[in-house]
Amino acid sequence: MKDINGKVAFVTGAANGIGLAICRALARAGAQVALADIQPDALESARQEIAALGVNTIALSLDVSDADAMARAANEVEAAFSKVHIVCNNAGVAVVNSLLQFTPTEWNWIFGVNMFGVVHGVQTFVPRIRKHGEGGHIVNTASMAGLQINPAIPGIGPYAMTKYAVVALSEMLEHELAGSGIGVSVLCPAQVATTIGDCGPRRPDRFGGSYRSAEPAEIRARAAAGMSPDLVAELVLHAIRNDEFFVFTHPEARNRVEQRHARIIAAFDAAARYYATRK
């Protein structure tokens, strides 16, 4: 989608961090922006910031884990702008804990937001983009943790599981939408300066209600020293314009992905050697 000027974008997790930065980048490119988030006060402040860039905006209070709420949000966006072209399924939570200690409530919440939030966004908006026939683009926020596990981050397993799912969903979606004029990108950032780790106060009542996140000091320090969300947003904008699938933010993370794939290839080689000995 080379020309973003005048297009309509819908962004979840838009009240801060990467989501708000994506809204800024899209607005500066001339897009009208619908901002969605579960934090109403921060969301309105974000909407005012984006509106000050000279584009039409609306703010939608939204829990992405609720499929019916996503459908209502889509109706509101279409009522305001008539159609949607760009959808950024960006909302996410980071609950860091041992696999063996994760509670049913934590599993339901992290998958409800990180994975089903993307599913709901895709299933709700893609048919609407197909219907207007003007093309569009879907951006799903995964993580570098969706391609490999970093053992230097204790308790990352459950979060990584959700992000692996987002990568797989995006790969399949790209195939299903081939030739439709609707592009797909999957954003896989490494450490970015956001508040995703301090998501406890944003947990809905149906998942146990708000709580104070017991985020390890090491992870807080990593986040504070992370990449600027605005730089990530520039990469996302470039990917939309150039129909790029994978969006990576940290080239230095390549070695961990290569190590994982080397292990996979080695296992295939081992299987081939095993079958060769049976002939």
Over residues 186-210, mean pLDDT? 88
Triad 5, 8, 10: Cα angle to 5°: 130
pLDDT for 159 beyond 70: yes
Which pTM does this prediction carry?
Answer: 0.94
Question: Predicted confidence band at 215 (pLDDT cuts at 50, 70, 90)?
Answer: low
Termini Cα distance of the chain? 53
Neighbouring residues of 3: CB distance < 8 A, sequence distance ≥ 6: none
How far apart CA 145 and CA 163 sit, in angstroms, is 6
Quick count: other Cβ atoms within 10 Å of Cβ 167?
18
Neighbouring residues of 217: CB distance < 8 A, sequence distance ≥ 6: none
Over residues 100-119, mean pLDDT? 96
How far apart CA 222 and CA 8 sit, in angstroms, is 34
pLDDT for 26 beyond 60: yes
The answer to whether 223 touches 193, Cβ cutoff 8 Å, is: yes
Among 36-45, 83-92, 125-134, 147-156, where is mean pLDDT lowest?
A: 147-156
The answer to whether 144 touches 253, Cβ cutoff 8 Å, is: yes
How far apart CA 92 and CA 36 sit, in angstroms, is 12
What residue ranges do the domains of the chain occupy? Answer: 8-248, 253-279
| Backbone dihedral angles phi then psi of residue 59, each to the nearest 5 degrees | -120, 135
Instruction: Please identify, in words, the CATH class of the domain defined by 8-248.
Output: alpha beta
Catalytic annotation, residues: 159
For residue 141, the Cα-to-chain-centroid distance in whole angstroms is 2
